[in-house]
Amino acid sequence: MSSKPIRVLHVCKGLGLGGTEKAMQLYVTHLDKSRFEILVLALGDGDRRKLIRDAGVPVVVSADPYPILNKFKPRIIHIHRAGWPEPDFMRPFRLNPPEAIVETNVFGRFDDSPSGQIIDCHIFISRFCRERYAALHHVDAVPPGYEVLYYPVETDLYESHSPADRDFSQPVFTRVSRPDPGKWSRIAMEFFPLLLKEIPEARYRIVGMIPEAEAYFREQGVMDRVEAHPPVLTDEEVCDFHAESCLLAHGNDTGESFGLVIAEAMAAGLPVVTHPAEGLRDNAQLELVDHGVTGLHAATAEDFAGAVAWLLKHPDEARKMGQAGRTKAREQFRAQHIARGLEAIYDGLLEARAARP
């Protein structure tokens, strides 16, 4: 292996607030800079550009990858994408192949196009995604071509910034998402009036309010118990938002291929109430939240309200679940550990390439 740093180009479509972009930010932040020379290429700009640059990683925003590929000459290209066929997006990398191409397959989708064939390693962000991928497409999804690597979480920061004396007896809980109707479930709206019948003093603090949800809360006459908050960008802002909460109420009809907001709430010491998604939709939220251990699962609005009410009425149990969630987050999602796992994948691919005749 060369003593020179290994040039790795991380590629994504934008630098916005989504989990894909945040995970990439944390990957490149925690990769060993003495071993890897990293450049981020984004086709579109966003708020995360500054955060990545503040971490000491250069960022180029350009809709034309060709000059970057020719100048930087990466040995590894790591693409962050949904996973389905995108021939136009993939063409520059197909025409300028490095020693290895890695994709983080965010939604566990299948790409049988010529562009999909250039990928040396597909990284899934949950066991659920890899198992569904293998079952649906009859693929033997095993290493080294197929890996599972959870999204990274700044668990050390969450532990140091979250209140050690959190008051789990306060009927206050949070929800965090983008203000996108596709990130919501009707359960996340309909449970709240039911909960207030049992716990009238409950407060629902929301990042990512959508007009449909606000209209529903007003129609039900409960908007005075709802607090809509602006987006949170940094992990410190997420910690501050969760500081007075005693649980995370997660509801998303499409489910989660990982569930970064869930993992972050767990790292902050909060139990999580979530629900299964129907059919073949994403269900990694059930992989993260162990029912009765780190939170609760509830399939209907009535059950969801009951689960939230139970945790609000049993603060000692809520605290134990929050502590169990924090332990799981530290053991399985800690950003430094995830970065070492990614480095091992890179090393394995380059070693395999070098061993070819």
User: Under a CB-based contact definition with an 8 Å cutoff, are residues 38 and 11 in contact?
Assistant: no
Three-class SS state of 341: helix
Provide mean pLDDT across the span 41-56. Answer: 96
pLDDT in tens, 53-68: 999 999 999 999 999 9
pLDDT band of 284, cuts 50, 70, 90: very high
pLDDT in tens, 148-188: 999 999 999 999 999 989 999 999 999 999 999 999 999 99
* Cα→Cα distances 247→1, 48, 190, Å: 48, 27, 18
Three-class SS state of 217: helix
Provide mean pLDDT across the span 289-302. Answer: 98
Structure confidence at residue 128 (pLDDT): 97
- The backbone torsions φ and ψ at residue 129, rounded to the nearest 5 degrees and listed phi first, read -65, -40
Provide mean pLDDT across the span 115-144. Answer: 96
Structure confidence at residue 1 (pLDDT): 47
299 pLDDT higher than 90: yes
Domains of the chain: 6-152+334-355 (3.40.50.2000), 155-333 (3.40.50.2000)
220 pLDDT higher than 80: yes
Which positions ≥6 away from 340 have C-beta within 8 Å?
none
102 pLDDT higher than 90: yes
Provide mean pLDDT across the span 294-299. Answer: 98
44 pLDDT higher than 70: yes
Three-class SS state of 173: strand
Provide mean pLDDT across the span 278-291. Answer: 94
Percent over 90 (pLDDT), the chain: 96
Structure confidence at residue 279 (pLDDT): 83
Closest by Cα among 252, 78, 108 to 176: 252
3 pLDDT higher than 80: no
Structure confidence at residue 356 (pLDDT): 84
Tokens found for residue 73: 């000459």
Which positions ≥6 away from 2 have C-beta within 8 Å?
none
Structure confidence at residue 2 (pLDDT): 53
**Mean predicted lDDT score pLDDT of the chain:** 96
Angle between helices 315-333 and 301-313 (to 10 degrees): 100
Which positions ≥6 away from 316 have C-beta within 8 Å?
168
